[in-house]
Amino acid sequence: MMSSIKPLIAGNWKMNGLRSDMDEFAAMAQGYSSELAGKADAMICPPFTLIAALANHPDRGALAVGAQDCHTASSGAHTGDISGGMIADCGAKAVIVGHSERRQDHGETDALVAEKAKAVWDAGLTAIICVGETEAERRGGTTLAAVEQQLSGSVPQGATAQNSVIAYEPVWAIGTGLTPGIDDVAEVHGFMRSFLANNLGGEGTAMRLLYGGSVKPGNAAELMAVPHVNGALVGGASLKATDFLGIIRAVS
Ligand code: 13P
């Protein structure tokens, strides 16, 4: 049976993007809005420095804009940090929390990620909560245990299909050109769906589950056809309009 969940293709620009890249964004936005918006929702999460410019870009059309992180507090003495409310104020609609690069580079724990997700909700935005096993966990056969631990620790009670999206990104597949086998993606996504349905009921059944890690135009169709894969979180291939549009086009 076809899933009734509208897919979401979200691009994570990571620490890439200057004002000179706004033309690339405009090309993505025009291509998406004119021919692809009916197929899937789409979003670009640029660095903080570009959120306002992209969210208010005259050619943005239906292409949404998100952020890559936020602080747990709504305001206050936190030098260098950005709150969910500030992100909302710039016109963004979602915030990625718990990306493995933040878990690794900044020591973010599941508990912190859960607090960030709640801060995102408090700002009226959608939290894109990331989970995924390391290469050692994959080799050691503990992938599902690792994902279960991250889901139970990082996805707060109160998560709904509206306020949250879950992104499964195997750490070893990010930026490497490697992807798990289709059966492996199906196993993890099926597991996540059962876990979320058991814990959140109908909201867990309807929540979007994205796959991320080396998604390209050439492998997107196969990955997006896996049961309980409701879209993609795309890094490198979201920097170029032709690649990003190619991935959206591959959604069936
Ligand atoms: P790549 O698509 O570059 O592998 O990055 C995936 C990712 O980390 C998206 O958040």
Instruction: Please name each of the domains of the chain with its CATH number.
Output: 8-15+39-72+81-249 (3.20.20.70)
Distance from C-alpha of 250 to C-alpha of 73, rounded to nearest angstrom: 39
Q: Whose CA is nearest to atom 7 of ligand 1?
A: 235
Q: Is the pLDDT of residue 13 over 80?
A: yes
Dihedral pair phi/psi, residue 236, rounded to 5°: -50, -40
CA distance 130 to 7: 17
Q: pLDDT tens-digit profile of 145-168?
A: 999 999 999 999 999 999 999 999
Q: How far is the CA of 88 from the centre of ligand 1 (A)?
A: 24
Nearest CA to ligand 1 atom 2: 235
User: For residue 77, how far is its CA from the centre of ligand 1 (angstroms)?
Assistant: 32
Centre of ligand 1 to C-alpha 127, Å, is 17
The most distant pair of C-alpha atoms in the chain lies apart, rounded to whole Å, by 51
Q: What's residue 252's pLDDT?
A: 78
What whole-number distance in Å separates Cα of residue 149 and Cα of residue 129? 13
The pTM for the full model equals: 0.98
Q: E-assigned strands of the chain?
A: 8-12, 41-45, 64-67, 94-97, 126-131, 164-168, 208-212, 231-234
In this predicted structure, the answer to whether residue 2 has a pLDDT above a threshold of 70 is no
Cβ atoms of 162 and 124 closer than 8 Å? no
Which contiguous run of DSSP H or E holds residue 118? helix 110-122
Q: Which residues are catalytic?
A: 99, 169
Joined together, the tokens standing for residue 32 give 């998406």
Nearest ligand 1 atom to alpha carbon 100: 8
Instruction: Give the residue whose CA is nearest to atom 9 of ligand 1.
Output: 235
| Closest approach atom of ligand 1 to CA 214 | 4
pLDDT (tens digit, 9 = 90+) per residue, 216-225? Answer: 999 999 999 9
Q: Count how many Cα atoms sit within 13 Å of the Cα of residue 169 in the half-sphere of its side chain.
A: 30
CA of 11 to the centre of ligand 1 (A): 8
CA 229 to chain centre: 12
Pocket of ligand 1 (CB under 6 A): 12, 99, 169, 174-175, 212-215, 233-237
Q: Whose CA is nearest to atom 1 of ligand 1?
A: 235
- Please give the average per-residue pLDDT across 128-134, as a whole number: 98
> How many C-beta atoms surround the C-beta of residue 215 within 10 A?
28
What is the rounded average pLDDT of the residues 14-30? 98
Half-sphere exposure of 79 (CA within 13 A, CB side): 0
